[in-house]
A = this chain, B = another copy of it.
């Protein structure tokens, strides 16, 4: 089976598990959570987690709840980021954003609900007794990378940093937190559940950091192609910083660095290689 086929299989398994978990109730809050989560995301983070874990022979059924938890955290961040107090985005994936569809109060609570659900799912997931201590490490990893020193801190910098404060170093710092945080957590949680060694976990973190940078630079390039600009909002952006050519060069450098990180620890996962390499494809919807 080639990497694309096996990634497609993983994506379907994730989608089924997401639907199963979110099918618990038909309350309006669950409707709002389903509305965002089940609206055609690419499941990039769950696929990173599954691919890292399965490389280390962990069973997919065991990994799936954790993969879904990462997707819940990602979707909570999208809902809160779209709120009027933040990005004030009326659309997300071609549909009205959560607060446009359900009202600001429900969107806020649905985001809170997804973040809380992520931890519930990780705490309740069946694990063999040999992995009991890994569960705490996984929950700590996700909470640190998603927290104020990670994703939330990156979102804050993204909004509050002044134009004069943006340079290559501060751009990297923001992206490593805002976008890199959850991506690093995804591959490392797969590694933790697969009992990867500390050296391998470090290589997975390096891979994740470079994939995160590539992911964001690619997004900046696609945004520039769409000529999307936010009214009045300043956002650190690699195309604005480096020019389109400079951004494309960095995108390739980051993908190369991600692949080199895998090689360094002899992680020959075709799927992890494919997930990084597909970021070079500058058509919408690849990643």
Q: List residues of chain B with CB within 8 A of the CB of A169.
A: none
Task: Pick the most buried of A30, A106, A148, A159: most chain B CB atoms within 10 A of its CB.
Answer: A148
Whether the Cβ atoms of B123 and A139 lie closer than 8 Å is yes
Interface string of A63-86 (1 = CB under 8 A from B): 000000000000010001001011
Whether the Cβ atoms of A143 and B156 lie closer than 8 Å is no
Q: Is A115 part of the contact surface with B, judged by Cβ < 8 Å?
A: yes
Q: List residues of chain B with CB within 8 A of the CB of A80.
A: 108-109, 112
Q: Is A135 part of the contact surface with B, judged by Cβ < 8 Å?
A: yes
A residues contacting the other copy or chain, number (CB 8 A):
50
Which one of A21-29, A197-205, A235-243 contacts B?
A21-29
Q: Which of B111, B119, B136, B148 contacts A29 (CB 8 A)?
A: B148
Q: How far is the CA of A149 from the CA of B33 in the complex (A)?
A: 13
Q: List residues of chain B with CB within 8 A of the CB of A2.
A: none
Nearest chain-B residue to A112 (Cβ)? B152
Q: List residues of chain B with CB within 8 A of the CB of A85.
A: 83, 85, 99, 103-105, 107-108
Task: Pick the most buried of A99, A123, A142: most chain B CB atoms within 10 A of its CB.
Answer: A123
Q: How far is the CA of A159 from the CA of B107 in the complex (A)?
A: 13
Q: List residues of chain B with CB within 8 A of the CB of A109.
A: 80, 148, 152, 155-156
- Min C-beta distance of A202 to chain B, whole Å: 19
- Secondary structure class of chain A's binding surface, majority of residues: helix
Q: Is A146 part of the contact surface with B, judged by Cβ < 8 Å?
A: yes
Q: List residues of chain B with CB within 8 A of the CB of A25.
A: 148-149
Within residues 135 to 174 of chain A, which ones have a CB less than 8 A from any CB in chain B?
135-137, 139-140, 142-144, 146-149, 152-153, 155-156, 159-160
Q: List residues of chain B with CB within 8 A of the CB of A6.
A: none
Q: List residues of chain B with CB within 8 A of the CB of A4.
A: none
- Min C-beta distance of A90 to chain B, whole Å: 15
Q: Which of B105, B152, B156 contacts A116 (CB 8 A)?
A: B152
Nearest chain-B residue to A141 (Cβ)? B123
Whether the Cβ atoms of B136 and A108 lie closer than 8 Å is no
Within residues 92 to 139 of chain A, which ones have a CB less than 8 A from any CB in chain B?
99, 103-109, 111-113, 115-117, 119-120, 122-124, 132-133, 135-137, 139
Whether the Cβ atoms of B33 and A148 lie closer than 8 Å is yes
Sample 12 A-B pairs with CB under 8 A, ordered by A number: A27-B148, A29-B152, A76-B112, A85-B105, A106-B156, A109-B152, A115-B116, A116-B147, A116-B152, A119-B139, A136-B136, A139-B139
